[in-house]
Structures are given as structure tokens and as C-alpha cells.
Amino acid sequence: MKSNIIPAIRLTIVCLVFFAGIYTIVILGFAQLAPNRGKGQIITQNGKTYYANVGQSFTNDKYFYSRPSAVAYNAAGSGGSNKGPTNPDYLKDVQSRIDTFLVHNPDVKKSDIPADIVTASGSGLDPDISVEAAKVQVKRIAKIRHIQEDDLQKLIDQQTEKPLAGLFGTQKINVVKLNLALDNIK
């Protein structure tokens, strides 16, 4: 054991310099070439900046809602509800979200509400919603903003991100980008 201790300490120091130091510095160097120099992807509109990948809370009826969040979209932290699928309190929450949604969207049939808009994401910062979740909100927004429903449908089509290479994964819409584009419609 004894003859191992000194080499072990020296090896630990060498590893620290190499794997925590040099390794991170090299990647930091590459990050300077990446979009926004590795500080997270940014969207700028009207002089204000937002993170493209970090979701925001949209509860106002004039915007497309984002998904419910366990951390209220404050990206200082992150996390899900961690509610089990049979937890009665959780099921009550979902039921009340459905009821609230129907109050704000009286023209919508209950069976058209997609599950993602009434369930919380894992990170609490999900920037996306499903295409169905955007479509189901069109009538409400058209009424409030006095925009043609067709124009909103077009906007949704423009903002829809197809599965990877058209083949792999989900189809989705980034709510932050969608609402920024919505604000641009006059």
C-alpha cells in the first residue's frame, strides 16, 4: 500500500491537469468558433435577446401557451414534477389544467387537446410544443389578435420543425420562436 501512495498522489495531480485542465481548455477553444461563442444559442428581436433553446412561460391568452412547468420556466434551476402516473393529486392537477384550457378556448373539443399541453416537461424548460398543441390554440389567438385563422395556420406551418431528415424523431414547434413571429404579424 505504502509504495503506492506517492505515485497515486502524483498520478492524481497529473490527471487533474490533463483531464480537468487541458481537456476543458481545448473544448473552450473550439467553443469560440461555435454560435454565440459557446454561451448558448441566442435569438435577438427588437433589441431584446432570448435563448433559443430555453423555454419561456406563456400564460397570456394572446400568445401560444407553453407547457406547464415544475420550475415556472426560471432557468436558474430545472426539474420535472416527478409525480407518479397514478398519484391522485397529480391527476387532479391535470384535470384542472384541462378545465382551465377549455375555459380559455371555448371552441375547442376536449378530445382535440393534446397531452403535452397539460403535462409538465422533464426539465421544466421545454421550449417546444407539439404541432397539435399549436393548432388547438389558433381560434383563441385569431379572436384576440384579430388575425385570420388561415394566417395563423400558415405561421404554424412555417415554424414546424420536421423530424430529423424527415425520418427520425418528433415533429415540433419552438414556442419562443413561434410567439416572436406572432408578434411580428401586424
Partner 1 sequence: MNTEILGVILMYAIVVVLAIPLGRYIGKVFINEKTWLDKILNPVDKLFYKLSGINPDKEMNWKQHLVALLTLNLIWFLFGMFVLMNMTWLPFNPDNNPSMSPDLAFNTSISFICNTNLQHYSGETGISYLGQLVLILFQFISAGTGIAITAVVFFAMKEKTTDKLGNFYFLFIRSCTRILFPISLIVAILLVFNGTPMTFEGKDIITNMQGDTVRVSRGPVAAFVAIKHLGTNGGGFFGANSAHPLENPNYITNTIQIITQMLIPLAMVFALGYVLKRRKLAWVIFGVMTIGFLMLLIPTVVTEMKGNPAITKMGISQTMGSMEGKEVRFGTAASAYWSIATTVISTGSINSMHDSYMPISGMNQMLGMMVNCFYGGVGVGFLNFYIFIILAVFISGLMVGRTPEFLGKKIEAKEMKIAMIIALLHPLLILVSTAISSYLYAHNPTLYAGWLNNPGYHGYSEMLYEFTSSSANNGSGFEGLGDNTLFWNITCGVVMILARYLPIIGPVAIAGILANKKYIPESAGTLKTDTATFGLMVFAVIAIVAALAFFPALTLGPIAEFFSIK
| Window 24-63: contact mask with partner 1 (x via CB under 8 A) | x-xxx-xx--xx-xxxxx------xxxxxxxxxxxxx--x
Q: Please give the angle made by the CA atoms of 12, 16 and 20, to the nearest 5 degrees.
A: 155
Among 47, 105, 119, 154, binds partner 1 (CB under 8 A): 119
C-alpha span between 69 and 182 (Å, rounded): 22
Among 44, 100, 103, 111, binds partner 1 (CB under 8 A): 111
Partner residues linked to 173 by β-bridges? 129, 160
Among 98, 142, 147, 181, binds partner 1 (CB under 8 A): 98
Least separation in angstroms between CB 159 and partner 1: 13
DSSP string across 117-148:
GTS--SSS---EE-HHHHHTTHHHHHHHHT--
Least separation in angstroms between CB 61 and partner 1: 11
Of residues 50, 48, 39, 37, the one with CA closest to residue 177: 50
Which triple of cell numbers denotes residue 64? 401560444
Least separation in angstroms between CB 111 and partner 1: 6
Of residues 135, 130, 110, the one with CA closest to residue 67: 130
Q: Does 107 bind partner 1 (CB under 8 A)?
A: no
- Residue range at the interface with partner 1 (CB under 8 A); choices 6-14, 139-147, 151-159: 6-14
Name which of 82 and 150 has its Cβ closer to partner 1.
Answer: 82
Locus of grid cell 495531480: 13
Q: Does 181 bind partner 1 (CB under 8 A)?
A: no
Among 65, 105, 116, 159, binds partner 1 (CB under 8 A): 116
